[in-house]
Amino acid sequence: MSRVDKRLIFAVATLLMTFSAMTSSAAVTPAGGGCDVAADVAMEVGDYATAIKLHQRLLLSGENSALAHYHLGFAYGMAGLTT
């Protein structure tokens, strides 16, 4: 393998790692923009009534998280509470 091939492989690997780091959820989610852990667990197990209650409580507490709003809307839809 020539020296140019090694440099090309290194450059491509570096670009891929940089792109991966830039698009990871930790890089995209703003600080403090997460949800309540219990609310997310309720979503994962399909307990949408609890998920709705916990996400509403989180949003009423003053946390203005886009992810919490999204999860609340998703839980409403999965519970069949749509207009």
10 falls in which pLDDT band (50, 70, 90)?
confident
pLDDT digits (tens, 9 = 90+) for 17-49: 776 665 554 444 445 556 788 888 898 899 999
Q: How large is the angle between the packed helices 48-60 and 66-78, nearest 10 degrees?
A: 150
Query: pTM of the entire structure?
Result: 0.58
Delimit the domains of the chain by residue range. 1-30, 31-83
Q: How many CB atoms lie within 10 A of CB 42?
A: 21
